[in-house]
Amino acid sequence: MPSTITNNAPVTNQIDPVDHYIAGRWQSSPDRFATTNPLDDSVVAHIAAGGPDEARAAVDAAAQAFPAWASMLPVERQRLFLHAADLVEARTEQIVRILAVEAGTSTAFAKFQIAWSANLLRQAAGWGYLPYGDLLPSDTPGRFAMAMRKPLGVVAGFTPWNGAFNLAWRTIVLPLAFGNTVLIKPSEEAPISAGLLHAQILHDAGFPAGVVNVVTHAPGQAAPLADVFFESPAVRCINFTGSATTARMLAAKAGAALKPIVLELGGYNPLVILDDADLDQAVDATVFGAFFHQGQICMNTRKVYIDAQLHDEYLVRLAAKTDALVRGNPLDPEVIIGPLINDRAVTQMETRIQDAVDKGARVISGNQRDQRVFAPTVLADVPPTAVATIGQEETFGPLLVVEAVDSVEQAVSRAQAVPYGLSAAIVTGDEERGLDLARRFDAGIVHVNSSTMAGEPALPNGGVKDSGWGRSGHYAIEDFTEIRLVTTTHGPAKYPF
């Protein structure tokens, strides 16, 4: 196979912003940590390393800003969101570069995130005009009852390094749109891409001081900040995107503190290819779903279940398309497959692939790497003895398992036999057949004749089971507001004593 590695993109210099953003101001810390380029470990920036003091200051700033933000007229908030959307688009070149050097993001994925984020901001600009309550009948004579939605208050958000730009916007915008203020703790793997860049845009768009706050921390030092969020009475909700392992710890803390928590977690996402599927369409859906952003997205396709009659020809076409994906420096616009985020991700890929191969699996494509740039890898004939490692838990990298099945029932039962329920997809020549099958999946998202990676800002994306709870789009009003019952009684009220 000819090499598809490219290394002709330019070297970048260090970038800003690098400090905490609290109460509308950039605030430095005496301690710093380096965020590095996953391609070559070159230093991208030296970031402020905060602790409990900065976290408490951010909580206080958000709490002080909440009353004015919650009472701001919808038209005033709308102008701010629309201005921010314009700035996102105007800064496309800068954002593409930052995402490439800090998070290993390809140009294609960076531009997708930019368009998605601008769309989210523009859609959220109108959410202030959604109905925020109901008039309710009452069995009490003369009583007029209203169920009114009110913002919670301060929402603390934890943003991830993968899909850093748009997922951070989701974490920020959904609570803001419904009248809450926010504080963000971005991943130390990509703090600029996952929070600081957003603070700069919102600051420049004119958002009031304290409405959005961002505090960064050194690797391994998230717990002291998180403890402040859980202990502070001003923080009314936790909003986390990340792994199920971390989510369990946070959910336990939230339970002890009696705080609601919204969770967007991982997924072991199946693609089911029925016997009437168009193979080229199936291959396209597979490659995009499995290998977009090097397989480092929670909605990536992890396993394909394909009718046995199509299996062999499908593998031939799948290998050809997979092998053609250009790998290398994500600053090169031709590159699709950039570096994995760190050495732990590389080790996980190698360990799981080797375990499966040692137990009898076949490598159909890939299983090569140049430093952290791992070739998209397809495995077939993975034996049951390897399923515990590679067939139940997501491998956050460009790894796909393909399994032949003899029936739709077999595909569904095997796809359901995992603890996750985020996204699933079905490829079929019969749309009604696909819709009927979609109802049988225990997943928060099911796409017919599309990829597991399909999503839009306004749609209610979210998972079930170990993939979390809560939904995006305007459906997030359920997560970031509370119902307050208000009644008024006409005339003198009557009491039993």
Alpha-carbon distances of 462 from 138, 215, 398, 406, 471, rounded to whole Å: 35, 26, 22, 30, 5
Active site residue 298: yes
Neighbours of 31 (CB within 10 A): 14
Which alpha helices (DSSP H) does 381-487 contain, by range?
384-390, 408-416, 431-438, 477-480
Euclidean distance between CA atoms 268 and 282, whole angstroms: 18
DSSP letters spanning 22-80: ETTEEE--S-EEEEE-TTT--EEEEEE---HHHHHHHHHHHHHHHHHHHHS-HHHHHHH
- H-helix or E-strand spanning residue 185: strand 181-186
Question: Would you give the end-to-end CA distance of the chain in angstroms?
Answer: 89
Alpha-carbon distances of 281 from 235, 297, 304, 307, 449, rounded to whole Å: 47, 21, 14, 15, 8
Burial of 141: CB neighbours in 10 Å, binned 0-12, 13-18, 19+: exposed
Pull the structure tokens for residue 74: 């919808």
Given the residues 102, 188, 189, 264, the one annotated as active site: 264
Asked whether 304 and 270 are in contact (CB, 8 A), the reply is yes
107-124 and 74-90 helices, crossing angle to 10°: 170
Query: 3-state SS of the chain: helix, strand, coil percent to 5?
Result: 40, 25, 35
Asked whether 99 and 110 are in contact (CB, 8 A), the reply is yes
Count, residues in the chain = 497
Angle at 381 between CA 378 and CA 386, to 5 degrees: 90
Euclidean distance between CA atoms 168 and 482, whole angstroms: 23
For 121-139, give one letter per residue: b (16+ CB within 10 A) or e: bbbbbebbeeebeeeeeee
Given the residues 54, 102, 237, 298, the one annotated as active site: 298
Residues 6+ apart with CB under 8 A from 134: 146, 147
Euclidean distance between CA atoms 349 and 278, whole angstroms: 30
Unique residue bearing structure tokens 């402020």: 48
Tell me the sheet residues that pair with 185. 158
Active site residue 264: yes
Which alpha helices (DSSP H) does 72-126 contain, by range?
74-90, 92-103, 107-124
Output the CA torsion 185→189→193→196 (10° steps). 40
Catalytic residues, by residue number, are 264, 298
